[in-house]
Amino acid sequence: MSILKQVGEYLYLRKKDPNDKPTQWMKYMHGINRLSIFLFLIALLIIVVKLLLR
């Protein structure tokens, strides 16, 4: 699976493959990855806003 497809699934931009049966540990890993991507995007947004308000 390509990286862009995976990121699209994490950010709910793409539907997940219905044939894919993730294990419990994969669900945990994807949840943590999704959280880290959201936090990274929020941090970028804060940095951009601070730079624009300066």
Cα–Cα distance, 7 to 2 (Å, whole number):
9
What per-residue confidence (pLDDT) applies to 28?
86
7-35 residue pLDDT tens: 777 676 666 667 777 778 877 888 888 88
Higher pLDDT, 47 or 4: 47
What per-residue confidence (pLDDT) applies to 8?
73
Cα–Cα distance, 54 to 6 (Å, whole number):
35
Q: Is residue 47 pLDDT above 80, yes or no?
A: yes
What per-residue confidence (pLDDT) applies to 17?
67
What per-residue confidence (pLDDT) applies to 37?
87
SS (H, E, C) 1-54: CCHHHHHHHHCCCCCCCCCCCCCHHHHHHHHHHHHHHHHHHHHHHHHHHHHHHC
